[in-house]
Chain A
């Protein structure tokens, strides 16, 4: 992760961890889909298998937490924390509006993984906005 165009030792380790967890997620999801398609598990076994791809996704959240603990540059850490707050707020706002629409007007639920994608999109946009707001001149 590069914050404000800066890569720190902690952010390099974060990138490595994210690469591992994302690769794991893709491999596990592919495996689970194949198993469900061909072996047709059901009942508690199906639930147990379906939960497996969630583990690397949770590990991604854990990697963010570890990054915040490891980041020594306090300004970069602040930018990341603000971006996480923006991502959380954006996600909650969309979910609560969707919940109200579903309960009152019978609107459909959001597609699967919307919350996951939405969180990281808002997180990324918030980082970009703050990066633009703190551009440094080359001659400074």
Chain B
């Protein structure tokens, strides 16, 4: 699934390692999410939502 995680992260000047630390996951997880190789679970998606202050459906794009 396409998403805007990388864009939102870069806007805040965070590295993948920074975001991984805030989410309490590995940097590899962040990379896999950003590149669309892995879709996070709902709890992790909500964590991203709280962290970026955005609704989930504005961060993850429905793959039409």
Contact = CB atoms under 8 A, between A and B. Distances in A.
Interface residues of B, number: 17
B29 A74 contact: yes
Given A74-B40, A78-B38, A134 B16 contact: no
A75 interface: yes
A74 B32 CA distance: 11
A136 B27 contact: yes
Given A134-B31, A136-B16, A8 B37 contact: no
Interface residues of A, number: 15
Interface string B1-43: 0000000000000011000000011111101110101101100
Nearest to A77: B29
Nearest to B27: A136
Interface string A56-83: 0000000000000000111110100000
A134 B26 contact: no
Given A74-B41, A136-B31, A6 B15 contact: no
B26 A8 contact: yes
Contacts of A5: 28
B15 A75 contact: no
A51 interface: no
Interface in A1-52: 3-6, 8
Contacts of A78: 38
Nearest to B29: A75
A134 B27 contact: no
B28 A74 contact: no
